[in-house]
Structure 1
Amino acid sequence: MHGSAIPREYLPLAHVNGDRFKKLVVTRRLRALSVQFMLVRAVTRSIHCDIIAYDDKLLTPTGATMRKYPRKILLAVTAVAVITLSPAAISHLNDQEVSQSYRQSWFTMIALNFGPMVAMLKGEIPWNDDQMAVYADELVILTSMDGMRGFADGSDKGTTRAKPGIWENKEDFKAKMDDMAMAVQALQEAVNSGNRKAIAGNIAATGKACKACHDEYKSKNYLY
């Protein structure tokens, strides 16, 4: 027998005995990890292709390019880029930590859409109105999901950087999540308007909404 702690997604395999059960579980885990790897590799290649497509002038944006936006906005998006694109932002997949995996994967998808918007604003990759609109639309879709599913009671332990205060102040935490969703909707409207000054301001505002939650409820290091 396999005991009572069989992950839900493996229950259909519960009739398989012994070593074969273990092999099937390992196979499924490897397939899941392979999908994650391909996703990250595809995104990395996409960004790389955008970068090498620069001509010599675009590879080194001029001061004039950077001065299109107020300094405080550029400082804000730089700080957000550090938060959203750091290696620690990469999600993990663990069938024993479903809530933790859900929230980390959700935040990673947000980072992979918001990060390129920040990069466009900073002049690190070419500005593309169509692609900017796609990122904004995807962010709206993501933030319309129930992100609180990833913070179920009892999921404050395990592979996590979520501080205990989340579960102690659920209403405040949810309010900050709602603020982020509202900021993303405003960002989408700005992107649809085509006004780059408005887009820049709303990227900074979205980053500020993200940071407000990170400052209070996210640890710099894994807690357990």
Structure 2
Amino acid sequence: MRKIVILTGAGISAESGLGTFRDAGGLWSQYDLEEVATPDGFARNPTLVHDFYNARRANALNASPNAAHAALARLERDWPGEVVLITQNIDDLHERAGQRRVIHMHGELTGALCAECGAHWQAPPEMHADDPCPECGAAATRPDIVWFGEMPYDMDLIEKHIVSADLFAAIGTSGQVFPAAGFVMQANAAGVETVELNLEPSELSGMFDARHEGPATDVVPTWVSHLLGTA
């Protein structure tokens, strides 16, 4: 049976109330990304960074999965072949919708990381600059988030999944953030069928074999129903 690899971005969580980078008046617009989403920003002011991610964590915990998340969980459950979901999102809405196999290439709000020893653990609802690492004791805890300038997680595994797929789908992505923006190029080079589902055309729309435009809660359930033959 055909292997489906899916990449999701901020657009799939927007209808759950979690804003994208570009939302006017949203959480991101209130902060300088250089100060809250880079290693240098964390080194300069860890308290500011923790305050930012504590707010994002609370926002995500109060959000609920939407129909697009539920549809992808249904696809994973009912598709007779393999479904691999890669997300650029750091929320856990895919998991709460029932998705079992999720690769978080940019880390997770629910995770904590020690900048000193590299230990990972479950983040509490609020983190602080002086929280000690449970492994080494250093006051160097940070959100387990991949910041600008850092290497995303599981890139070798992701590339293996993409080039071995029969269908690659990008959902709710802007096509502006690399390396994820390059996944469709890898898929094309490997002869993989590609489809984009987005609210509006992305920077890379012309590279996809097929495109579906509209709100994620409309286009994703329709697409999944078509794949499963239940439309």
TM normalised by structure 2 equals 0.29
- Identify, as 1 or 2, the structure richer in strand: 2
Which structure has the bigger radius of gyration? Answer: 1
TM-score, reference length from structure 1: 0.30
* Structure 1 or 2: more helix by fraction: 1
